[in-house]
Amino acid sequence: MARHINPSRSTNNAIDALDRKRERERHFILNNAREKAPELAIKLVQHLLDDHIIETNNVQAIQEGVERQLREPADMEEFEIRLKIADIRTLVQDPNILSLYLTAYIIEDLINHPAIMDIFGEDLDVYNSVESVLGAILRSK
């Protein structure tokens, strides 16, 4: 007797498997960022300065703010993170959620920091600069 295959069920299983994989990756990245926050903050701020994305008169204050932002998302609800990145979620096709979160922080919040003199570049330039640092470090297991 032939076995009946339900195409919608197999499609749902595939979608569920992809969702679980993305959720595991998200938790890995956010927890890894929390553990490596001091190191990442130093590298990220230096890279933003080297790429002429930010101009500051107090690098230490900016590093502390970025370090805080690297620690926070691991404890946040999914809704809170999605709300923060809502305006730029379509910036790139398959974004790193943490890079999007930090990009939103830089273009929305960091610009008002008293130690920031100016922020240069388009949103995509900021994202690419952030992702070039975070992507390499956080994806290494």
User: Is residue 136 very low, low, confident or very high in pLDDT (cuts 50, 70, 90)?
Assistant: confident
For the question of whether the overall pTM of this predicted structure is more than 0.95, the answer is no
User: Is residue 115 very low, low, confident or very high in pLDDT (cuts 50, 70, 90)?
Assistant: very high
pLDDT at 79: 92
- Average of pLDDT values for 69-80? 92
Handedness of CA 121, 123, 129, 133 (dihedral sign): positive
- Main-chain phi, psi angles of 53, to 5 degrees: -85, -45
User: Is residue 140 very low, low, confident or very high in pLDDT (cuts 50, 70, 90)?
Assistant: low
| Domain extents in the chain | 7-138
